[in-house]
A and B are shown apart, each in its own frame.
Chain A
Amino acid sequence: MSKITTDLCIVGAGPVGLFAVFEAGLLKMRCHVVDALPAVGGQLSEIYPKKPIYDIPGFPEVLAGDLIKNLEQQIAPFHPTFTLGERVEDLEKLEDGSFIVRTVDGTEIACKVVVIAGGLGSFEPRKPAIENLEKFEKHGVEYMVRDPEHFRDKRVVLAGGGDSALDWAIYLAGLCKELTLVHRGTTFRGAPESAAKVLSMAEEGQIKLILKSNVSEVHGENELEAVTVMVDNTTPHRIETDYFIPLFGLVPKLGPIENWGLELDKNAIVVDTEAYSTNVPGVYAIGDINTYPGKLKLILCGFHEAALMAQSAYNIVYPDKKFVLKYTTVNGIQELQ
């Protein structure tokens, strides 16, 4: 478990979180950035790195991935530190007004200011609407395959029609005692070679494939024992199984931030537009994760919000100093040592 001390803990390493490092750095505030993804850039790096963006001032056209590279270069003089691949879990406010931010892996970041730049939130498994499904979570219902060995010689029912469902069906069929893939449709739009492989394995009897069907019920006492598959949406068919793994992709959720006592509106954090501060003093929210009258979910608006946040955060980090706006055209970039 590592402990980090910094001025600002920025939650989210997307473009707005990175630019917040720049604005804070101009005011001589140190930043530590945390992100659940293993690399910086948020959805720009993860989802659409090759997509051109046209509304960044000064760039008639810039690829999302290149914008992130430029931002990394721009913040380098301020030597930010990073915890990547760890989702934030807990926020504790101390008596002196400072904070401890904790990640799922136990990293602790002691800071004076928390800046939430979490974009869409964290991506969590999409759960099908099946009664009692949550009762069996970790007791036979899993939403991802962390360690395939866990399923060796077990009976497994997978549900889904995307790449993830296809890939795991192919992989687990060689490990499991019995593997059933249930899919709502009649075709697979995942990688064609994966779809072809699943179909041929089904013909050879290595995979039980049930198309045009949904898992509609889960059964068991304390552990999962069986599922009901509604075949053709009409005929119930019970399958005895040790595991049920619905693989329906990911959906963005606020995640643990939801439990931090922040005022929320429709899954976004309510802020005061004077400084993009939340209802918890010392906690700010910038970028797509916040909401206010007139909110526009644009990267450039997030950049603006980062600049105003930094000015307000300065008063918390340096309570005895008077804030004076300095222009980079006059002062240049003063590297943080």
Chain B
Amino acid sequence: MKDAINIYVEQESGERIELEAPLDMNLSVMEVLKANEFPVQAVCGGMAICATCHVEVLESGPLPEMNDDEAYMLETLPHATDSSRLSCQLRVNPELDGLVVRIMPEA
């Protein structure tokens, strides 16, 4: 079994940057983005209360269901889309292998 998956961040230019996300650290996608120095503020530390880790999911396998906190926060964002997620609420797991996200402008 693999000990890491790959996730991709699509830039404005369309270029996709590959990131390696270890499976054994219980990281969130937000933490992987921050570890790779992407401009994700994540000021609330992953509690789904600030939306400063908002991403748009461009390609993915099955994603975990949204909990109420995440759904409520996304509902209040003026520029969320049907593919929006809070990256702090996406735990790195094998099903996320190949995930492609776009970091949304800071709210």
Interface residues of A (CB under 8 A from B): 43, 47-48, 120-121, 126, 128-129, 159-162, 184-185, 187-190, 214, 246, 248-249, 251-252, 266-267, 288, 297
A-B contacts counted at CB < 8 A amount to: 63
By a CB distance below 8 angstroms, the chain B residues around A160 are 76, 78
Closest to A252 in B: B43
Question: Does B80 sit within 8 A of A, measured CB to CB?
Answer: yes
A248 contacts B41, C-beta separation under 8 Å = no
A248-B72 in contact given A47-B47, A266-B39 (Cβ < 8 Å): no
Q: Which of A43, A159, A190, A288 has the most CB of B within 10 A?
A: A43
**Chain A nearest CB, measured from B99 CB (Å):** 24
Question: Does B68 sit within 8 A of A, measured CB to CB?
Answer: yes
By a CB distance below 8 angstroms, the chain B residues around A297 are 45
Main secondary structure of the interface of B (DSSP, over half): loop
By a CB distance below 8 angstroms, the chain A residues around B68 are 189
Q: Which 10 A-B pairs have the closest CB atoms?
A: A128-B78, A162-B76, A249-B76, A189-B72, A189-B75, A161-B75, A120-B43, A248-B78, A252-B43, A126-B107
B47 contacts A129, C-beta separation under 8 Å = no
Pull 5 A–B residue pairs with CB atoms less than 8 Å apart, ordered by A: A129-B105, A162-B72, A188-B75, A249-B77, A267-B43
Q: Which of B47, B52, B75 has the most CB of A within 10 A?
A: B75
Interface residues of B (CB under 8 A from A): 39, 41, 43-45, 47, 49-52, 68, 71-73, 75-80, 105-107
**Chain A nearest CB, measured from B50 CB (Å):** 6
**Chain B nearest CB, measured from A50 CB (Å):** 13
A126 contacts B78, C-beta separation under 8 Å = yes
By a CB distance below 8 angstroms, the chain A residues around B49 are 47
**Pick the contact of B78 from A188, A214, A252 — CB < 8 Å?**
A214
**Chain A nearest CB, measured from B91 CB (Å):** 18
Q: How far is the CA of A47 from the CA of B44 in the complex (A)?
A: 10
**Chain A nearest CB, measured from B21 CB (Å):** 20
A252 contacts B50, C-beta separation under 8 Å = yes
A184-B78 in contact given A47-B49, A126-B107 (Cβ < 8 Å): yes
- New A-B pairs, 9, CB < 8 Å, besides A126-B78, A189-B72, A246-B78: A128-B78, A129-B105, A159-B78, A160-B76, A160-B78, A248-B107, A251-B50, A251-B52, A267-B41
